[in-house]
Each structure stands twice: as structure tokens, then as C-alpha cells.
Structure 1
Amino acid sequence: MFKSLTLLSSFVALTAIAQDRKPTTPTPASPGTPPPAAAAPAPAKTGPKAYKEVITDKSKTTKGLFIVHKIEEKYFFELPDSLMGKEMMAVTRLSQSSTTPGSVGLPAYGGELLNRQVVRFEKGPENKVFMRAVAYINVSEDVNSPIYKAVRNSNVDPIAMAFDIKAIRKDTSTVIEVTDFFKGENAVISMSPVVKQAYKLTTIQTDRTYIQSIKSFPLNTEIKVVKTYGAIPPMPTPPSPVPSPIPSVNLPASSIAGAVTMEVNTSFIALPAVPMKQRLFDIRVGYFANGYRVYGENSQRTDDKTFVVRWRLEPKNKEDEARQRRGELIEPKKPIVYYIDPATPEKWRKYLKMGVDDWNVAFEKAGWKNAIRGVILDEKDTTVSLEDARNSAIRYFASDIENAYGPNVHDPRTGEILESHIGWYHNVMKLLKKWYMTQAAAADPRARKNKFDDELMGQLIRFVSSHEVGHTLGLRHNYGASTATPVEKLRDKDFTSKNGHTSSIMDYARFNYVAQPEDGVTDFFPRIGDYDIWAIEWAYKPIYDTKTPEEDKVILNKWYKEKALPNRRLWFLTETNPYDPRAQNEDVGDNAMLASDYGIKNLKRIVPNLMTWTAAEAEDYEMLEEGYNEVVSQYRRYLGHVTKYVGGIYETPKSMDQEGAVYEPTPKKLQKDAVAFLNQQLFTTPTWLLDANVLGRIRPDMGVDFVSKIQEATLTSLFAADRLQRIIEASEKTAGAYTLDELFTDVRGGIWAELKTRKATDTHRRNLQKIFVERMTATLNLPSVPAFGGTATAKVFGAVLPPAADPRKSDIQTMVRAHLTILQNEIQTAIPTTADKMTKYHLQDCLFRIKKALDPK
């Protein structure tokens, strides 16, 4: 107000002075004299200003990775000259959001990752500072070699943003304004177009977008921005028979306000000045990996260099290093710390912490004491921010998603993990309850209720916490760990108490569903196992007195052959192989037929008790339906485990200095046992699933069609062209292998057993026999597969996939036609002697279908 009055007074005074002055008469110009030229306006000053003109006394300044200046509502970064050309990581996460629960696969909750990108700042022409997005794809590691320049010439990093230089502090730093950059959209710090499309977000609304804070620390700068996007309200759309490849989620906020507001935090993290020494990837030990293509000065080909992701653990000083060399445990200079989100319900926090701390037993084997710990964060503690990129955390999401996940952010140059935010959805407890009741209730009385006791649920949370922490330490799933345990050992109380039912918590072995009520087993879920301890030792035990990762690789190979090779419990079998029956998720034991048989015995015990175990006064039958559906899902898992044996190919990863083949067909006996299991447990109607006491309360039908659908799904998988081709390939290569002729004979003999006994065929079996005819007919009519001239195998997520075989140019359709002809003759023989009228009608119908398939004309 005072400034406004002063300006007004000055204006009045100047006006009065002007009025008091006498006007002057200009001297007339001579005829023909050109008018005087107008004075040229002074050129506007461009380019950087003096530092003090930009960064004034009004600036609120914080120092760190970037020197941050706030002047009124504008933000400036002062970039030290020493930072120019240095690479850093930009990590963008949601802090708060108005997205909806249930957004599987999409970032939706505070703490979830939106974007990450390596960037570097550099000075450009015309007084600009460029921010380049850096991709590690093609690399020459020798910066002094001629080929380094060739690689750089062929791999120019794109300029993601250009900033005007506002001021320069000579020989010290450069000032740029970043206000509009952070309030706007840029591929480096924004959510991906796919996510925006899924949430139906449109343009950013600048009038409702603002920078909330920018804080700078020695190794990182944190930018928190509230962003508002326009949003397309949900519109009723008819269901599409073809699902969209891009998920779509309707947000409540878009219906309420036509806009979505979220708080976003971007961290700029300085990559380590001294890169950690890489540990080269080994297919025999299950680690996530990063890599790039290397062009070496002396190489005769390009090399793909792949290295594992892991945390940097190093001694505090030379004295500690000497102690560790002598075999003593030492504490690392910087331990791995996970903060437990204060938003976590209080009674579960200690179990999440236990899941973190449990990994110390593995790090001790690698030479480290107190290497990892969980810290329960007090909600009143303002010194630790979960958005700060220096901090790792277990974030708790109020969500109905039944899941948890463990990612990490790592240095793409070396694989060094920089931070991790484990996502923990509230409803993972619902998933744990369903799994544990279905898999363990027959033998564990604690699981026979709708709501588990806190201690049981807490221990289940602890197990999942350990699993997710394992991922953030770099470990992949080891689906082969459970097959190191003989099935009968799963019924041994002493063995399971000592070893658990799987050698790795990184397996998807869930719970011991094999143990029978009479066995007395009390240990049903996984813990840090032998494989986990070995894998941590392999990646985190220091290797001294070497200079290169290649030298370390030789030592690591020696460790593997001495420790892991002779011990099946230390083997890694990938989670990506589609046809090795030893590498499956949700299974336990070394033989799926035996394990699944025990599992089904327990399911048969559970179904009649579901009414009692899910009962709740004044409630409907929702929990009964949930329990029954989970039993059906578990049963289908068993069928899938067994089916994978048929046409299965073992893949045992090996280095070239190991003997034996990598790929071998599953033994014939196991394949025949698998088909016998399916004939007994599926194709012979599973009447135990059709409990009238249960079905009469949860569904209007009696399960005839849904049993048929389970049978059809399994038969479709069993007769898939790629499986049939693998059987052909294996029988050609291996003497005494299971043949396609034997497969069709065994399946046909089980499904059409009534043709020999002449017994009446009930509704379930009639449906199954029609499914058999239809599946064989479909296989007979498979279209030709274009060759495209390709003969090489392909790798998809590590799994080796052969090129698709053409069923019309192999023995597949030959064998199908032969067996349909055999079945046709058997039906023709059976019809005259069949007394049951419905069975006869059914056989006549099947005969008609077969004849039409064999002779479409």
C-alpha cells in the first residue's frame, strides 16, 4: 500500500511541473530539407545478466547437488561447472495421487515409480544449457581408443531440454531457471504416455499446477510438484471381445471434477564418482542384470556385456578390510537400510522389519555383519523423508490390490543399486489368507477360520516381506528351488523344521500343501534358504586383489563349481522357461504328480469343511464362495504343474567347462505318469468338487459346465502344436523317448474307457468325449505356419524359443488323423452293442463329427 501511494504522489508532482513549463516553438525547416531521422532504439540486452541481477538479496538459497534459489515464485538452479558433463539419475515418483485402487500394473499410489532416466547437463551454443537423456546401449569402455570416438559418433544422446542461461558466475557456475520445466511436461520427469492414456488424462492444467518445494542435499536434489491434468470422464462402453493392449482405468476424480491432481516427486541423484566394480552376470545364479554392447579396440566382434544389479558394500577402512580378509565379519561402511512407512498399521510394522532383518544370515556368509536392517519410522520424525532418493523404504498402500512388489533403481554403468521402494498393498493379506487356508488348512488348524490370528498373519507378512526384499537385493525368482526337495521329505516333520519345504524364499513355492494331517508337520511356509545364502555370497562377498570384472568371473566360476554344482539345493532354474517342468511357480517337491496327488487329498478334506470354516453370523455366503473358488484355482494349478511334464524339456544352465547337455527331454516315465495322473484326477470326473452342500449356496448350477471347461482347458494345452512338436523332436533324438503315438493312445484310452467296458456314459464323460473329438479335429485343421526363412532360435526374457513348427508339414496331423480313424472304428464297433439310449445317441453324434473331420466333403 505504501509503495502505491508514493508512486501516485510522484506522478502528480511531475504533471504539475510539466504544466508550469512554457511551450517552445520549433524552428521551421528549410524547404527541401529532409526531416531529421528518428533516433534508433537501443538494442535490447540479450544473453546472461550479471549474477547479482538475477540472484538478488531476495533469494532463498539452499546448497547441495544443485544450488537452488527461490525468488518469489521462481526457482533457479545454479549448476557448478564441476557438474557439467557428469551423469546423474532423475527418478520420478508419485507422492500422493487421486488414482483409483485396483490399477494393476499402473503407478497409482504414493511412492510408486513413474519414471527414471540418466541425464547430464552441458553448455550449448547461443547461451543455452542442454539436458541430454543418456542411454547405455552401445559403449566403448576405453575412452582413449579411436573406436571410442566412433561409438560416440553413432550414438548421440538426445537433447531432452534446453535452458536459457540467466547468469554466469565466472569459473564457478551457471544459473538457469527451472520453474516452467518442473511445472510442465517433459519425457525425463513425467509419466509415460501409456500411463496417461490408461488414466485418460489430457493436458496439464497450468493454473492448478505449482511447485510445492525444492530441497537440495549433497548427493541429490528433491523437487515436489503438485500437478493437475484434465481428465476424460468415464463413458459407458460395451464390452469388447478383444481386450485392449493398453489398460484403461476410470478415476473417480475425473467424474467429480473433470481433472486429476497428484503430487509428484523428482529426485536428481548424482551417480557415484567412483563407479563400483561390475560383477558379471552368470546364467547359473539368478540375478537381475543390466548391460550394454561393447566395442573393444582389440576385439573382432561386438560383445554384450551384462552385469548383475547389487548394492555396494565395502569396508569402513583398511583395518576392517584386513579383518575381513582373515575371515572375520565386519560391518559395511554404508549398510542397506529400509524404512518402514509410518502409514503401515502399527501391529504389522515389526513383521515387515523382521522380513528385512532376516537377510543378515545370508550376508554373514558373505563376510558382512549387520549389513541390512529395517527401521520402523516414527511418523513424527521429520528428519527422514520417504521421497528423499537417499532413502529406501517399504511403502504401504491403502489398496484392494492383492500384491506386493520389490523394484530397485540402479546405476546403469555398473549395476549398483542406489535405492529401492518396496510396494506393499493392504490386500496382500487377503491373498495370503486365501492361499494359506487352501494349501495348509488340512494340516494346520490355525488356518481354519475367516480371520487369522495376528501372529499367524504377521509371520505370513514376514515371509512376503523377505521375498520382496530379496528382489531389491537383485535376486530373481528361482522357480527350480522347490524341486530340490523330494516330495516325501515334505511330510517329514524334522526335515521341514530344519530346512523348510524349499531351498529359496525367492521361489514361488508358497506353502507346503503336501504335508498330510497325520504327519505332524508344523513348518509350512518358506524362509531364507540354502540357495538364498549362496546367491548373496556369490554377489556380495568381496573379491580382493583383482582389477577387472573379467578376473572376478574366473574366481566366481571356481566358487560355483566347488559349492553350487555338487549341491542341488543351490541350483538356479529360471522363472522364464516355458517347458522345463522343474521350473514352475506355485509348486513344491521334485515330482508334480506325487505332490499334486497329496495336494488333492488335502483339498478333498477342505471342501466339506468350508461351510464351517467360513461361517459368520448374519453374513451371506461371500466367504464360502471365495474359499471354494480358491480350492478350484488350486486344483487347476496342480493340473498345470502336471501337464508341463508332457513334452517337457529340461534346461540345466551350464558353462562351457561343464560336462553334459543343457537341454534334455523329460524322462518318458514321468511323461506317462503325468498323463496317467490327468486320466485319474481330471478326465475321471472330479466329483469331490461338486459338493451339493456348497454349490447349492453359491451358484445356480451344479458345476457340469465348469468341470467341462477345466477339462477342455487342460486338453487344449495338452494338444497344443508346440508341445506335440517337442514330443516329435525328442523322440527323434532320444531312444526310448515318449512318442506322439503313445500320448494319443494313453489319452484316448483314458477318455474313451467306456468303449471297452460298454458301460453307460454319464453327462460329464459325454461332454469330455465331445471335447476330445473337437480338440483333435481342431488340431487336424490347424493352418499352415509361414516359414519366413527363419531357422534360428530366439531368446525371450532369457528363455530359448525355437521357431514355430508348421503342423501341416510335420507328423502332427498325420498322427491325429490316424487316431481319429482308430476312434472311428472303435465307436462303430461299440454302437450296436450299446444298451443305454443316451450313450448310443452320443456315440452316433461323435461318429458323425469324426467322419466329417476326416472327410469334409
Structure 2
Amino acid sequence: MKRLTSLSLLCLFILLTCSVGQAQDKKPDVPPSTPPATPATPPAAPKNEPKPFREVITAKAKSSKGLVNVHKVDDKWYFEIPDSVFNREIMAITRYTKTAAGGGIFGGEEINSQVVAWEKGPDNKVFLRSISYIIASPDSTKPIFKAVKNSSVDPIIGAFDVKSIRKDTSILIEVTDLFKGDNQVFSLSPFLKQLYKISDFKADRSYIQSIRTFPINTEIRTVKTFGSQSPPITPSPIPQPGVYLPAGVQAGVVTMEFNTSMIILPKKPMRKRFFDPRVGYFSSSYGTFEEESQKSDEEVFAVRWRLEPKNAVDALRQKKGELIEPAKPIIYYIDPATPVKWRKYLKLGVDDWQKAFEKAGWKNAIRGEYWPEQDTTMSLEDARFSVIRYFAAEIQNAYGPNVNDPRSGEILESHIGWYHNVMRLLRNWYLIQTAASDPRARKKDFDDELMGQLIRFVSSHEVGHTLGLRHNMGASSATPVEKLRDKAWVAQNGHTSSIMDYARFNYVAQPEDGVTDFFPRIGDYDIWAIEWGYKYFADAKSAEDEKKLLNETTKEKVKNARLTFGTEVSPMDPRYQTEDLGDNAMKASDYGIKNLKRILPNLPEWSKENGESYTELEEMYNNVVAQFRRYMGHVTKNVGGIYDTPKTYDMAGAVYEVVPKERQKEAIAFLSTQLFETPSWMLEANILNKIRPDVGVESIKSLQEGTLNSLLAGDRIVRLLETGKEGNYTVDELMTDLRNSIWSELKSQKSIDIYRRNLQKVFVERAITMLSPKDPATLLYVPPGQAYGFATRRVDLKTTDLPSITRGHLESLLSEIRATIGSAPDKMSRYHLEDVANRIDTALHPK
């Protein structure tokens, strides 16, 4: 071992002493003379300072000028927003341009429309807000305006760094992520994603296809890809809403293409035309708070196009009765995807409205045009153009929406949806309703001219919706039933006063009547409705002035039944129904059934095609059954019915009136004859033995049961209980009339066949449930003066007279059955009566 020197020992001592001190005091291991270190300050974040314009928008940029100037540099897109556009309201309308197949969605259909506005923010930021019209205050100078603003902050849906400021007149921002991404306003809503089983957004497979800008609008086309949910391995016991798109199931992702139109709204909104329930217009609304009012209010106004004179001279000419052209006409383009042979008929459906606008003081106010396919500056998705879009779809329908300014109701554009298979729907309707009288309808495939005229009618109907008109389901009730058989009268007036009614074709006319006009047309009501919505009042200073002028005219017009409006949402007025005709459903349906009896035996001949199955025959037969079911519904609505006639304080008479007792009893008598007495004419063996294995027993029961359940539905019963006095029809009379009809064999001593046995059991089972109703009845009605929406009342049926009345009738029925069992004419009748008697007795006297 090496010896330690004195110097070595001294050094070791000092080293040990320092180590102990450090362990006790936790001092930093630094020389005592060195000052403690100061933590380093993180470098300041670079400020978001705008750069010179040329450094951002370089020489290689592709630029275009319009509402906002658009620049593309490499893969980045920029908006150059002028000061004049900031804080201006812009309607953003997003549509599909291409869709995944199998989801019932098609290119051209609207996804979303939302008002937005660009706004300058702090710290060199630009914000994009989504603007909602829920509440408003008309005068920004009043204190209450501040209260409204404090309760209606609009959400910020995008924030952008200012990239450059150009001569203090415009601000440059990058919008790549806004449109390439999945911002809800420009993409699918959470609801739609759930509906189509779509999951996460795939940014790496999404991109901006193009951005084009024009003087009043900018068009953004994008491609977006989404993940897709996997279908469950085992079916869920709870039905799951929505649809799995085939592309998502096969590939795991779904790609769609979108177009967003950003169109600037007028700086000065169009003057509103206040909603009137006596004339059927779609409406828009928002809550209002005014300084001098003692309550909040709701401003409801009609949705319509802006038609104005070009100048003061024209306005004066129109005031003197001369027709003038509007400053901007209404134009609908025909989609170039439309089969060529149908285009002219779609166009005629638009042009037919011109006569209505002439009555309102305008010429050349509306027209259809063929899409100029050579014009590459036009896009079908561009919100400046209204289009009848043709969809290659199996859906049997068409629809007519519009996009309107929420501030005023001004219609900005419309894309009518036209599904290819609407022609199949038209074939079925026309054949089943008119083939007895029109030889052209007696075939599987109609001639082009007949189908073209059917297309023209539907085109006019859908265009009417895009002009702001709602369905007028009351129009057909203004026509006396017998007039529908008068050839000259129908030729002059049509079978309904409005093409906006669902009064498809004249099924009342009999073959011997010689009627040749079966189509709806733009009628008296439609012409009046367009006058109400589009007449220009040169001397009116405000919407309130127009309302007063229109009220005086409307009061006089509605005295004519052909000019009245009947809402499509009335649950209780038998005059307002879909697919019905005439002023008396019982008479009209009786004529309709006569024609069905003529048509039914001919269906095998009219549907045949060698080498094909009986699918066509089955479809035609099912449409006969559906038409018969509609007739039963038309008649049933008279029972417990209440007439609902919109009126104002300065009009005489009641708004709500009970359907007369005689009319209600007529309805029950009709149902007894046409439905409860077995409609054996529907059991055409030559048809049933080719399309199904059964012979129609359950089908007849289904028809009878559906109508009986409707007659005894809780809301109808409550209305009868409410109004069952002073000579009105009562629940007790209804039960008596039903018993006399359904149980007539108890008096006649006739054999009870299987159809009647089924019906009688249905009656008894339904009555037993009425002894102790489990669910309350929900009553709905449209409150006076409203557009849509129902007032609701729930009634506990157990605490009404219904159980008492039902018990009394079941006791009486039980006594009658027991008195009849011994004399039953056959074994099955006796078995049936014994069984039913036991059911009633058990229900009345449970152990």
C-alpha cells in the first residue's frame, strides 16, 4: 500500500468537508465567486405581420377578379376581400355535385344554406361568422337593440391571419384549410354524417377542385373523403336509422364532391310582404323587439321573388294597367342531363305560369330556357341560376325548394329536383284514375305525348313551389262533384281551381260523360295567389301599407270558393285532403270505385308482355288497392271533422265549424256499404292467382281494420265528445251506427262468412281496448293566423265518457250475441259467436 503524504491528507480532508456541506445545504456545485444563473427567456413568437402583397401573391399566381379576388399560388388558395365586402351578409349555399351511389342523394341537391359575413378582428385577424335570424330589433338607434344584440351573438366559424393589406382597400387571407377541410357550413352536418354512417374526415384525400369568382358570387368546388362506419356483425335488436353507403361498405371510405356558392345579399333587403293565412305562401320569420311595444312579437313574411319595375316610368305605366317587364325576370334552366324528348315539356311547365304573372301586371316575367352547354362560364351549381335538375334515380318523386334571404323572404335561386322514376308514378296514377274514360291510359307504357303532358303538369306544380306557393289542398273541394262529369264545364274550368292541390286526375268522370280533360292546370286560385304575392304597389310606402291594401282585396276574393286556400297540414278539416276531388267525398269516391271496378278486370291485358313475369300486374293491382284505400280515408275524415276557415277580425262568421251531422252519418253509411260489406270485387281470382299465394282474406281485413282504427282513434273521439251536443254527431251514435253495420247478421240471421267474422273480431278487440285506454289522445290543430306548426292538447281518455259509452255498447252487444247463438245458421258462425261472447264477457267481468 502506498503511504499518504501530509499534503495528500490535507487535500482529502478538504474534499470530504466540501462534500458533506453540499449534502446538508443543497447548494449548487459552483465556485462561490460565480453569481447564480438566470433562467433563459424563451424567444418571442414572431408577430403575425402582413407581408407585402407581391411576396405572397407572386408572379406565378393564377388570379381572377370578382366579389372577392381569388388567387392560387402552388397548392394554396387566397381570398382578397375588399373593404366593401366586410360585414356584408353573404348566403353560402352548399350542394352535392357528385355523390356516392345508394344513399338516395344526388348531384345538385342542397346540403346547407347559411348566411355568413367576413369581419375584421384584432391582432391582424379576419373572422368568418355564421349569421342566424332568430330575434331582431329593427332600429339600431334604440336601447333595446343592444339588449337583442347581447342575446344573439353569432358564432365565429373561421379565423384567418392577414397575409397582406393591399393599398388599404382589401385584405388578403388564405382559405385553403377552410374549404379543403370539414367546416360544417361547407360540408356535411353531424346529422347527415350519422345518417350515412360516415365517420372521420380524411384530409389527405380531400382537396379544392376549383374556385371561380364572379361579380356577386364566388363558387368553390371541393372533393371530400370520409371514413365509413362498419356494418354490425349481428343485426341490432333496436332499429338503427340511416344507411350504409355501398362505397363505404366496399372500400371503407366515401368520396363526395361539393359546390359552395357564396352570393352576396342585397345591401337593402327587399320589402317584406307579411304572411296571410288566407293565401298559401311559404314563409320566413324571426322574433322582433321594438322600443315602444309592450311584448315581443314575431314578424312572419311570405317567401317570393323580387319583381320590380325597371324605372319610375315603367312603374307609372303598370299603375295605369299596362303590362311591363320586370327589371330581372325569373328564369329556370333545363338540366342538360335531361333526356332530350322531355325537355320541352319541362320548359312548358315553367312558361305556363306567364298568364298568372300577367294578371299581376307583368309580361315576360318568367320563362324556361335550355342550358347553354357551350357557355363554360356557367355552372349548374352557381347560385345565380335556377335549374330543373334531372336525377337518375329510382325515386318516384319531384320536389321544388328555394333558397331565400332570411331578412326579407326574397327568393335567390331554386334547384327543382326531378327524379327519373316520377314517370312511373305518373303512369300508375293516370292509369288507375282515368283508364276507364281515357283509352290512352290503357297500356303499360304511355305514348310520348301523353307522358310529356303529364311531365308538363308536374313541372308546373313544382315551379309553383319555387315561386313561394304552398300546397292548396282545399282547392278541389270548391268544385261540385257533378260538375266533374260535365264535359264543357271541366274543359273551361278544370277539375280543381289550383295546380298546387294534390288533385291528380279526374277519377270522377264516367266513360259515358265524354270528358277529355283530366289534367290539373294553373287555375283561378293560382292566378289570384300570384297576384297577391307579386303585384307591385307603387304608392305603398311600407310593408304595413301593402298589408292594408292586400287585406281589402283578399276579403273580397275569398268570398269566391275557387279562390280560397286550404292548408295541407289540417288534421281535422275534410275539405283539405290530398288526392281527393269535389265537394263531397262520399259521392266522388262512389264514382271513383265504379271506375276501379271497370279497370280491375283489364289489368292482366294492359300489363302483359311476353317473356316477362307478372311484376307489372302486381304493381298495377297494388295501385288499385291504394286508390281504394285513399277513398276510404277521404270519407273517414268527415267523421269528427271540423271546418277550419282562416278569417280576420273584419270578416264575419266563425273560424271553426263542426261538420254537419248529416254529412258525418253519410260518411258512415258509405263505409258500411263500400268497405264493411266485403268489397268482393277486389278479389279478382284471375289476378290474385298470378301475383300471390293467398286469396285476399287478410288484405280485406287490413283495409277494414285500418279504417275502423282511424274512425275510433283518440283524437277523433275527443272531437266528437267535445262537439257532441246541440244536434251534432256523437260518440254514442257512431258506436250505434258501426254496430248496426258490422253486426247486421245478428238481425238478419244470415251466415257470417270469414271476411265478416274477421271484421267483427277486429271491432270487438278495438272496443275492448277502449274500456281502459292506455295512451292519452293527442289533439292537433293549426292555430289561427299561423303558417305551419300545431297547437297540441293531450287528453286522458280514461277520464272521459269513452269507457262508459264503450261499456254500454259491449253489454248490449253481448246480450244480442247470446240471444242469437242458438239460432246460428252454421257451425262456423256459432263457433265465432261463442268465441266473441267469451271475449266480451271476460273484458267486462274480469276475474
Could you say if the C-alpha distance between residues 830 and 797 of structure 1 is closer, same or farther in structure 2, counting changes exceeding 3 Å? farther
Match in the other structure for 2:313: 319
> Which whole-Å CA distance do the structure 2 matches of 1:632 and 1:624 have between them?
12
Structure 1 residues 148-297: aligned runs within 5 Å: 148-235=145-232, 238=235, 243-244=239-240, 246=241, 248-297=242-291
The answer (yes or no) to whether the contact 1:503–1:532 under 8 Å persists in 2 is yes
SS at match of 1:206: strand
Match of 1:846 among 812, 819, 836: 836
* Partner deviation per Cα, 1:530-579 (whole Å, 9 max, x = no partner): 000000000000012122111111100011122x1221000001000011
1:174, distance to aligned residue in structure 2 (A): 1.3
1:430 maps to 2:424: yes
* Partner deviation per Cα, 1:9-63 (whole Å, 9 max, x = no partner): xxxxxxxxxxxxxxxxxxxxx9989999999978634332222222222221111
> Which whole-Å CA distance do the structure 1 matches of 2:42 and 2:591 have between them?
97
1:597 maps to 2:599: no
The answer (yes or no) to whether the contact 2:283–2:787 under 8 Å persists in 1 is no
Q: Which amino acid aligns with 1:136?
A: Y
Match in the other structure for 1:454: 448
Could you say if the C-alpha distance between residues 41 and 282 of structure 1 is closer, same or farther in structure 2, counting changes exceeding 3 Å? closer
Q: Which moved more, 1:128-137 or 1:443-452?
A: 128-137
SS at match of 1:230: strand
Match of 1:666 among 648, 654, 659: 659
> Which whole-Å CA distance do the structure 1 matches of 2:71 and 2:549 have between them?
51
Unaligned runs of 5+ in 1: 1-29
Match in the other structure for 1:580: 573
Q: Which amino acid aligns with 2:155?
A: P
Structure 1 residues 317-466: aligned runs within 5 Å: 317-466=311-460
Match of 2:63 among 57, 61, 64: 61
Match of 1:835 among 811, 825, 828: 825
> Which whole-Å CA distance do the structure 1 matches of 2:782 and 2:189 have between them?
34
1:524 maps to 2:518: yes
> Which whole-Å CA distance do the structure 1 matches of 2:716 and 2:332 have between them?
45
> Which whole-Å CA distance do the structure 2 matches of 1:434 and 1:604 have between them?
16
Could you say if the C-alpha distance between residues 43 and 474 of structure 1 is closer, same or farther in structure 2, counting changes exceeding 3 Å? closer
1:236, distance to aligned residue in structure 2 (A): 6.0
1:738 maps to 2:729: yes
* Partner deviation per Cα, 1:233-278 (whole Å, 9 max, x = no partner): 44565375x655x4x2222211332211111000111001121100
Match in the other structure for 1:680: 673
Could you say if the C-alpha distance between residues 53 and 720 of structure 1 is closer, same or farther in structure 2, counting changes exceeding 3 Å? same
Q: Which amino acid aligns with 1:182?
A: F
The answer (yes or no) to whether the contact 1:338–1:356 under 8 Å persists in 2 is yes
1:143 maps to 2:140: yes
The answer (yes or no) to whether the contact 1:793–1:803 under 8 Å persists in 2 is no
SS at match of 1:122: strand
Match in the other structure for 1:10: none
Return the TM-score normalized by structure 1: 0.92
Could you say if the C-alpha distance between residues 674 and 127 of structure 1 is closer, same or farther in structure 2, counting changes exceeding 3 Å? same
Match in the other structure for 1:707: 700
> Which whole-Å CA distance do the structure 1 matches of 2:781 and 2:565 have between them?
29
1:786, distance to aligned residue in structure 2 (A): 10
1:384, distance to aligned residue in structure 2 (A): 2.3
> Which whole-Å CA distance do the structure 2 matches of 1:98 and 1:70 have between them?
29
> Which whole-Å CA distance do the structure 2 matches of 1:53 and 1:535 have between them?
58
> Which whole-Å CA distance do the structure 1 matches of 2:537 and 2:188 have between them?
40
* Partner deviation per Cα, 1:778-835 (whole Å, 9 max, x = no partner): 11121264999x9998999635445122111111111111111110111011112223
Number of equivalent positions:
816
Match in the other structure for 1:617: 610
SS at match of 2:261: strand
Percentage of identical aligned residues: 60
1:766 maps to 2:757: yes
The answer (yes or no) to whether the contact 2:778–2:792 under 8 Å persists in 1 is no
> Which whole-Å CA distance do the structure 2 matches of 1:262 and 1:805 have between them?
48
SS at match of 2:464: helix
SS at match of 1:208: strand
* Partner deviation per Cα, 1:319-343 (whole Å, 9 max, x = no partner): 2112111100011111000110000
Unaligned runs of 5+ in 2: 1-30
The answer (yes or no) to whether the contact 2:689–2:695 under 8 Å persists in 1 is yes
The answer (yes or no) to whether the contact 2:315–2:538 under 8 Å persists in 1 is no
Q: Which amino acid aligns with 2:437?
A: A
> Which whole-Å CA distance do the structure 1 matches of 2:234 and 2:427 have between them?
35
Q: Which amino acid aligns with 2:387?
A: A
Could you say if the C-alpha distance between residues 39 and 699 of structure 1 is closer, same or farther in structure 2, counting changes exceeding 3 Å? closer
SS at match of 1:324: helix
Match in the other structure for 1:822: 812
> Which whole-Å CA distance do the structure 2 matches of 1:602 and 1:786 have between them?
37
> Which whole-Å CA distance do the structure 1 matches of 2:155 and 2:44 have between them?
38
The answer (yes or no) to whether the contact 2:48–2:161 under 8 Å persists in 1 is no
> Which whole-Å CA distance do the structure 1 matches of 2:783 and 2:518 have between them?
40
Match of 1:495 among 482, 489, 492: 489
> Which whole-Å CA distance do the structure 2 matches of 1:48 and 1:677 have between them?
81
RMSD: 2.2
Q: Which amino acid aligns with 1:492?
A: D
The answer (yes or no) to whether the contact 2:715–2:777 under 8 Å persists in 1 is no
* Partner deviation per Cα, 1:559-603 (whole Å, 9 max, x = no partner): 1122x1221000001000011000000101111000000101111
SS at match of 1:46: coil
Match of 1:636 among 626, 629, 642: 629
> Which whole-Å CA distance do the structure 2 matches of 1:213 and 1:629 have between them?
49
1:296, distance to aligned residue in structure 2 (A): 0.7
Match in the other structure for 2:553: 559
1:480, distance to aligned residue in structure 2 (A): 0.1
The answer (yes or no) to whether the contact 2:329–2:365 under 8 Å persists in 1 is yes
Return the TM-score normalized by structure 2: 0.93
Match in the other structure for 1:4: none
* Partner deviation per Cα, 1:606-644 (whole Å, 9 max, x = no partner): 110000010111111000000000000000000011110
> Which whole-Å CA distance do the structure 2 matches of 1:207 and 1:43 have between them?
29
Match in the other structure for 1:24: none
SS at match of 1:674: helix
Match of 1:778 among 769, 793, 804: 769
Could you say if the C-alpha distance between residues 33 and 854 of structure 1 is closer, same or farther in structure 2, counting changes exceeding 3 Å? closer
Q: Which moved more, 1:839-848 or 1:143-152?
A: 143-152
The answer (yes or no) to whether the contact 1:794–1:803 under 8 Å persists in 2 is no
| Rg larger for | 2
* Partner deviation per Cα, 1:150-176 (whole Å, 9 max, x = no partner): 111111111112112222224211111
Q: Which moved more, 1:502-511 or 1:183-192?
A: 183-192
* Partner deviation per Cα, 1:363-397 (whole Å, 9 max, x = no partner): 00000001001111143332421111100000000
